[in-house]
Structure 1
Amino acid sequence: MSQLANLLPLFAPPHHITDLKIQLQYALNQNGSLLDLEWDIRSIHFIDLAGRITLLWPQSAPIVPQTLFAMVQQTPEQTAHWLSCKQDCRQYLAVPQLMAGHTEGTLVLGRLVSDVLLAFRALTGADIAITTDLSATNNLFPAATSPEFLIPLLSMQSPQMLRDTDATHSLAWEKQGEWFDVFHLELTPQLSALIVNRITSQRQSITTITRNSVVIGLIGLVLSELLLLLVMHPPLKRLLKLTLLLPLLAENRFTALAQQLPKVRTWRLLHDEMDVTIATVFQLNQRMEQLQRERETAQMELIWLADHDPLTGLPNRRLFYRTLACAIDRANRGESGGVLLFFDLDRFKDVNDISGHLVGDQLLEKIAQQVDNFIGEDGFLGRFGGDEFALILPHQDIQHIYSQAAALQAKIAQVILNTDTQRYQLSASIGIVLFPEHGNNIQTLMANADLAMYQAKRAGRGRSHLYSEQDEGRDAARARLVWTDRILEALHEDRFEVHYQPLLEIVTGRIWRAEALLRMRDQQNKLISPGLFIPIAEETGLINTLDRWVLTQAIAQLQQHPGLSLSVNLSANALTDQQLGGDVQRLIRDAGIDPARLTFEITETVAINSMSNAVKLIDDLHTFGCHFALDDFGSGFASYAYLKQLPVDDVKIDGAFIRYLDYNQEDRIFVRAIAEMAHTMGKRVIAEFVESAEILDILRELDIDFAQGYHIARPAPTLPPLT
């Protein structure tokens, strides 16, 4: 319309007219109907600079909207436009008019909006309605396409819902089976447009597409599941079969599992994870079958080893006792009795000591095989360990038993083993017992058989002895058993104790040394003489335990009394105890005491009988710092040569030469000689069994260093006062 406003003055007559108002009036009179028909111009106003409407076309045209009028007055040189819906909806355009380069006024063109709305509908297919106030209770729609339909449709919705819509957030609803979509578009602060689209066909299309998509999806899902089932059925079938077969592993049915396992496909294109799993299960089955066989083999070996000697293959003590118990039971029920031969090999220890245990084992194997072949099915042979064997034979007369024992001796003597340097041929000492005559249980029978073998060994090597109630050593054997139990009980119940007997330094009259003596109390708390239990302890090997117990107690006392020195007796077994030296050094280091405060006493006889062991032990502990004393000197060899070989610090004269020293001149001469010899070698001399002042005076004259005896003090559980 702005171009039309600029062209309108040109419709004036060709002759020169200088008045713009006349030009416009002429143009309207000549072409006004054309403007209405061609341009849809329904009203024209001309407002001069004074704000007066000097031209109006047609005469019935509505007045210019006040807002637009004010805009023209404020800025007459600018173009302005306005939309007004007072009586009807019109669009106004105010265009300034120039004449000779000067603004003469403003030409205001107006046209109806209905044609625009119809054109919008024709172009977009959407209905449109102009509303003056959406916030009003009753919407006013001054212009609308299809007003008889559109206005009732829009009136169904609340103004707030319509006002909240825009081009991106529309409002849709359904009326009489038809769907509509509306959104709000603000034209001016007072006017808005509501665009209404018919979306029934679109919704139907969406519904149809959605339904088709769902159907197609379901069909695709079903087809996919069918295809998946078709693809997965063979491997799942194989997996199910494998699952059902796996429990056979737990049942150790390895062959059945191997036979029923699905085949592994070898073609690489068909080879998948199931084939790998089946191959793995097959390998696992083979491995478990192998392990099961090995376990059963090991179990059978363990069962065999539980009842047999691994070296000789003979029944061991456990199986032999079980067999012997059955034989004794039969004899106790009145069936035929039997004979038990218990024997060991004479001088077998020498074989191990000279040529080693490997040669000893070879000799044992040969003898076991020889004896086993000799008795055959007539007897039951077993090995108890070491060189001890036992043989069960059927009951027979005494003469035949001795013949069997002699034949057994001969068979053993036939076994000869040659080494590079030695030739070994052994004999056996055989103890013979009859059952049930000599015992109706295993314990009694074996004890009597052991005693009979001991009697045979005492009679000389290669002998046999039939057990008798009158055998020597029976009481001694029983005493050993009794005292062994009593010693073990005393150790367990802590009934051993140490008594201390002081040693007087004769020259100074001081007491700073004592001898630690082992004592044992019975269950009534009475002291037991060491002569009753010490020999048994030495014979049974318990003396090693007692030696260490006394040593531990002595070191504890040395730790508590810094000015004290103690002497401890060592048994013959201690000289062959290879761990004793290390144990002594460890105990002394742990206690943190001076090793020189501890003296070990060994008897002359024991030292000479085991000279090499004694010298080694003395040297080891001497180097560490301990002292040694040779006890009971004079009771044995009393040799200068032996004394020279033994690196002892003290010589302790046997009490037999001290007890009668006050009136026996020969004893004085002997004691003086020992003292002079010992002092010459740099050794101190100790006299024991000093029981009177007279003897002490004589010892002082003989230059004896220390005195020990009842005259000085008796052994007591408490330490003597140190001086």
Structure 2
Amino acid sequence: MIDAIAKDDSHLELERLKGALWASGDVVYDWDLATDHIAFSGDVAALFESDNLTVPASGEDLQLRISPEDIPRRRRILSDHFAGSAAYDCEYRIRSGQGEFQWLHDRGSVQYSAAGTPARMTGVIRLVTLRKKHEERLQYLANFDDLTGHYNKLRMREALEHALTQSQRFGQPGVYMVIGVDHLDRINTGYGYEVGDAVLVEIGRRLDNWLRAADVIGRPSGDCFGALLSVCSEEKAQIAAERILQSMRDQPIVVGQEKIHVTVSIGSVAFSAQSKTAVDAMTKAESALQQAKTAGRDCLRFFELTEAQRQDYRASMDIGEEVQQALKDNRIVLAYQPVVDAQSHVVRYFECLVRMYDREGALVPAAQFVPAIEQLGLMRSIDNRVRDLAIAALERFPNVNLAINISGLTATEHSWQRGLVARLKDRRDLASRLIVEITETTALMDIDETSRFVFSLRGLGCEVALDDFGAGFTTFHHLRALTVDVVKIDGSFIHHITSDKQNQIFIRNLLALAGTLGVSTVAECVETKEEADYLSAEGVDLLQGYYFGRPDIDDRLLTFQQGNQARIKSSAVGD
């Protein structure tokens, strides 16, 4: 009787496993390596789309169906697994009964004979074609404009950065142009957005024909195209721009039954004579484009500096060179400012603020060099150094939590994030003590991209803070869309908080929303006891400001101050 019950239970368990296997769409296999016979279980017909082809019965049959491009990689992974040096986890394409290739994800484990040789292989195969197509789509969108197929802003900036490097290395001139579509908003209003999109696609096609094959074309913004003309003088660029302008005047764009007369305005900047970085070149070209629009549109303007602008630019370039040398000489350091519990004033973590020693050894506040390097597009190098210095400090002080700021430019780049992953992968002990702060204005530039960025940081174990909250627009709405851990209230709302009724209303609304979302709040720029007491009574979680401590480059304070009450400091270098 007991044996019968056990047999029934075993049968039910087997039926449940079969049902789950079919529901998942996975296929289990058992591969006898000695006879090369493979037995499959599950929805095999759907996996291999075997209407016109038989299901593979052996390892050889399966390999004949695999894409020739994927066979060497699969062989290598199998060989490493058989040797015991790696798990078997492989994705490859297999030809279906319809003649198309489908993506499979194959995970398995080898079993060895008594003699220690591979005897059989068992594993699970899953169809992942839709996921791979989605990944390819995301990869495409990361580099190209979805409407026109040209480079997007990020990829355009990378191409421009490379062109500037080549120009500086070999002394070859180049020009970056921004081609703006005049009155695109009127076309969208009068004819509809579909017609407006068709106009953009046609202008992109014409630019492909009008410019050289070696020229790079992108779409950095909605109504503008960018054109990178390497190894090109200003005179040749002007000829090319005049050809574009004249052709647009002479050739209306036909969309359906409509003939639409469209003109463009062009702003240009020469490099590397007038620009040393991609961001600088793009900004100056856009400035020249605005000059062209102000001059009546349908014309070309080259960027020109006034004497005052030229002096400011030279000063910025001098600062940029000094910062680059300071990076080489390891003269970039961190100053630490405490962030304290609003009730107990116990230090919860420190914010890392960048500082620089000049060549004489004097400490330079951030305000004296950060604006210039932001203008020159050098913040990525600073952000990389701050990241590395902060992680090194976390390693030295295992009981300390730190926060770092990253610029808007860095937040849109993947290289900084890859560097963080490389240093914190499998180091959750460090990641859990690091807070990454992004500004609200940066977050609002692209909510979807910011959400992906935040998700990846939290996946490592880091916390994410939204800095300068309240400085942007429609902030409460967007806070719901961002899964951040901390919100830092912009300092402009803290000054005179005890008497400013509007700021008080803002902070109460924010605290109510933060409480609903489970987000911690930090009030910045707290300078008086009255401000600290008021914010604490209102329910702000954490406080930061000169009242509790100025930024200090002495990292010994990380040893004795974390977890203790903050002490008021007045002798350190401030922001």
Normalising by the smaller structure, the TM-score range is: 0.5 to 0.7
Residue 612 (structure 1) shift: 1.5
Alpha carbons of structure 1 residues 550 and 416: separation in structure 2 relative to 1, 3 Å: farther
CA deviation after TM superposition for structure 1 residue 519, in Å: 1.2
Task: Mark the CA change 1:669 to 1:516 in structure 2 (over 3 Å): closer, same or farther.
Answer: same
Answer whether contact 1:431 1:453 (CA < 8 A) is retained: yes
Q: Does 1:366 align with 2:213?
A: no
Aligned to 2:129: none
Are residues 544 and 470 of structure 1, via their aligned partners in 2, closer, same or farther at CA, if it must alter by over 3 Å?
closer
Structure 1 residues 467 and 670: alpha-carbon distance in aligned structure 2, compared to 1, 3 A threshold: closer
Asked if 1 retains the 8 angstrom alpha-carbon contact of 2:440 and 2:466, the reply is yes
Please state whether the residue corresponding to 1:346 is helix, strand or coil: strand
1:481 aligned to which of 317, 325, 331:
317
> Are the aligned partners of 1:343 and 1:388 in contact in 2 as well (CA < 8 Å)?
no
> How far did residue 479 of structure 1 move?
3.7
2:289 maps to what in 1? Answer: 457
Secondary structure of the 2:414 match is coil
Asked whether the equivalents of residues 512 and 563 of structure 1 are also in contact (C-alpha less than 8 Å), the reply is: no
Does residue 494 of structure 2 align to residue 658 of structure 1? yes
Q: What is the deviation of 1:366?
A: 2.0
Query: Which consecutive residues of structure 2, in runs of 5 or more, have no partner in the other structure?
Result: 1-165, 182-196, 216-226, 565-575
**Aligned residue in 2 for 1:716:** 552
Instruction: Normalising by structure 2, report the TM-score.
Output: 0.52
Instruction: Indicate how the Cα distance of structure 1 residues 391 and 467 shifts in structure 2: closer, same or farther if over 3 A, else same.
Output: closer
2:352 to 516, 521, 524: 516
**Alpha carbons 2:467, 2:488 under 8 Å: kept:** yes
| Residues in 1 aligned to 2:169 and 2:546: alpha-carbon distance in whole angstroms | 58
Query: SS of 1:593's equivalent?
Result: helix
Corresponding position: 1:344 with 2:177: yes
| Inter-partner Cα distance in structure 2 for 1:445 and 1:554 | 32
Which one-letter code corresponds to 2:266 in the other structure?
S
SS at match of 1:584: helix
Aligned match of 1:253: none
Structure 1 CA distance, aligned partners of 2:419 and 2:463?
16
Match of 1:618 in 2: 454
CA–CA distance in 2 between the matches of 1:665 and 1:451?
Answer: 39
- Structure 1 residues 511 and 419, CA gap change in structure 2 (3 angstroms): farther
Q: Tell me, in whole angstroms, the C-alpha distance in 1 between the residues paired with 2:541 and 2:384.
A: 29
2-side partners of 1:451 and 1:604: how far apart?
22
Distance 2:412 2:282 in 1: 26
Structure 1 letter corresponding to 2:233: A
Change (3 A) 1:685 1:470: closer
Does structure 1 conserve the Cα–Cα contact (< 8 Å) formed by 2:465 and 2:486?
yes
Question: Which residue of 521, 535, 541 maps to 1:685?
Answer: 521
Alignment deviations for residues 424-471 of structure 1 (CA, whole Å, 9 cap, x no partner): 9884635599xxxxxxxx958999x99996653231365333776747
Alpha-carbon offset, residue 561 of structure 1 = 1.4
Distance 1:319 1:533 in 2: 26
Distance 1:318 1:557, change over 3 A: closer
- Between structure 1 and structure 2, the one with the greater Rg is 1
Structure 1 residues 182-221: aligned runs within 5 Å: none
Amino acid paired to 1:680:
T
What is the aligned partner in structure 1 of residue 327 from structure 2? 491
**Structure 1's 446 and 571: CA in aligned 2 closer, same or farther, altered over 3 A?**
closer
Partner SS, residue 586 of structure 1:
helix
Matches within 5 A, 1:287-686: 344-346=177-179, 366-368=209-211, 385-386=228-229, 389-392=232-235, 409-411=245-247, 427=264, 429=266, 443=273, 456-459=288-291, 460=293, 462-465=298-301, 470=306, 473-589=309-425, 593-637=429-473, 639-686=475-522
**CA 1:361–1:592: 2 relative to 1, 3 Å:** same
Q: CA deviation at 1:386?
A: 5.0
Alignment RMSD, CA only? 4.7
Relative to structure 1, the CA distance from residue 687 to residue 451 in structure 2 (aligned partners, 3 Å threshold; closer, same or farther) is closer
Indicate the SS of the match to 1:567: strand
Q: 1:653 to 1:469 in 2, by over 3 A?
A: closer
Residues 389, 363 of structure 1: CA spacing in aligned structure 2 closer, same or farther, 3 A cutoff? farther
Identity %: 25
Q: Say if 1:451 and 1:474, in contact at 8 Å, map to a contact too.
A: no
Conserved in 2, the CA contact under 8 Å of 1:430 and 1:465?
Answer: yes
CA displacement at 1:692 relative to structure 2: 1.5
**8 Å CA contact 1:342, 1:430 repeated in 2:** no
- Classify 1:669/1:622 alpha carbon distance in 2 versus 1 (closer, same or farther; 3 Å): same
SS in structure 2 opposite 1:501?
strand
Q: 1:574: Cα distance to partner?
A: 2.2
Displacement of 1:364 in angstroms is 5.5
Deviations 1:94-134 (A, max 9, x none): xxxxxxxxxxxxxxxxxxxxxxxxxxxxxxxxxxxxxxxxx
User: What is the one-letter code of the residue matched to 1:646?
Assistant: L
Structure 1, unmatched stretches of 5+, are 1-315, 325-340, 349-353, 373-383, 394-400, 434-441
Q: Secondary structure at the match of 2:468?
A: strand
What whole-Å deviation, never above 9, does each CA across 1:627-646 have from its counterpart, x for those lacking one? 11111112222532111001
TM-score (norm 1): 0.43
CA offset digits 1:379-398 (Å, max 9, x no partner): xxxxx9557843548xxxxx
One-letter amino acid matched to 1:517: L
Is the Cα–Cα contact under 8 Å of residues 451 and 477 in structure 1 kept in the other structure? Answer: no
Q: Deviations over 1:200-243 (max 9, x none)?
A: xxxxxxxxxxxxxxxxxxxxxxxxxxxxxxxxxxxxxxxxxxxx
Provide the C-alpha distance between the structure 2 equivalents of 1:639 and 1:470, rounded to a whole number of angstroms: 38
Classify 1:541/1:321 alpha carbon distance in 2 versus 1 (closer, same or farther; 3 Å). closer
How much has 1:511 moved relative to structure 2?
1.1
Counterparts in 2 of 1:700 and 1:485: CA distance versus 1, 3 Å: same
Aligned-residue offset at 1:496: 0.9
2:391–2:430 contact (8 Å) kept in structure 1: no
8 A contact 2:488–2:524 mirrored in 1: yes
**Aligned-pair CA distance for 1:319:** 13
Distance in 2, Cα, partners of 1:432 & 1:615: 34
Greater relative contact order, per chain length (Cα 8 Å cut-off, separation 6+): 2
Task: Give CA deviations for 1:580-634 in whole Å, capped at 9, x if unaligned.
Answer: 3332122123766242211111111111122121111001111222111111112
User: Is the Cα contact below 8 Å between 2:405 and 2:437 reproduced in 1?
Assistant: yes
Equivalent pairs, count = 358
Task: Specify the SS of the correspondent of 2:343.
Answer: coil
